Amino acid sequence: MKAYLTKWIPPRADFLPTITEAEQALFQQHGDWQTALRKTGHIVAHGPVADPAGPYGVAIWEIEDDADIAALTAEDPIVKAGVGHYEHFPMMQMRSRG
C-alpha cells in the first residue's frame, strides 16, 4: 500500500467568502465524494484547513501500489468542473490509530 497527503487548492485565495451557489453545490459533491472514499478506506482522513494565507483542503490516502493518485483525485467532482486543483505528496510511511 502507498500513502499520500493531498492538498486541494481552491481557484482563488478568497474562495470561501466569495463562493458562488454553483461552487457551493460542487463543494458539497466534493465532500460527499471524499466521505465515500473514506468509507471504502482509500481516504484515511480529510478536511478543510484554516490557513491565514488562504484556506485549502487536505486528505490522507492509503491506496494500492498500482493505483495512481493523480488519476484518483482527477475524479473529484469539483476538479472535474475546473474548480481548483490538487497537489500530491507521497508519504514515506504512515502510522495511524487502530
Tens-digit pLDDT profile for residues 3-33: 999 999 999 988 888 999 999 999 999 999 9
The pLDDT score that the predictor gives to residue 16 is 85
Is the CATH number 3.30.70.1060 carried by domain 2-90? yes
User: Domains of the chain: which residue ranges?
Assistant: 2-90
- pLDDT surpassing 90 at residue 42: yes
DSSP letters spanning 69-95: HHHHHTT-HHHHTTS-EEEEEE-S---
- pLDDT surpassing 90 at residue 53: no
The pLDDT score that the predictor gives to residue 98 is 65
Q: Indicate the pLDDT class of residue 95, thresholds 50, 70 and 90.
A: confident
The pLDDT score that the predictor gives to residue 11 is 93
The CA–CA distances, whole Å, from 85 to 6, 12, 70, 95 equal: 10, 11, 10, 26
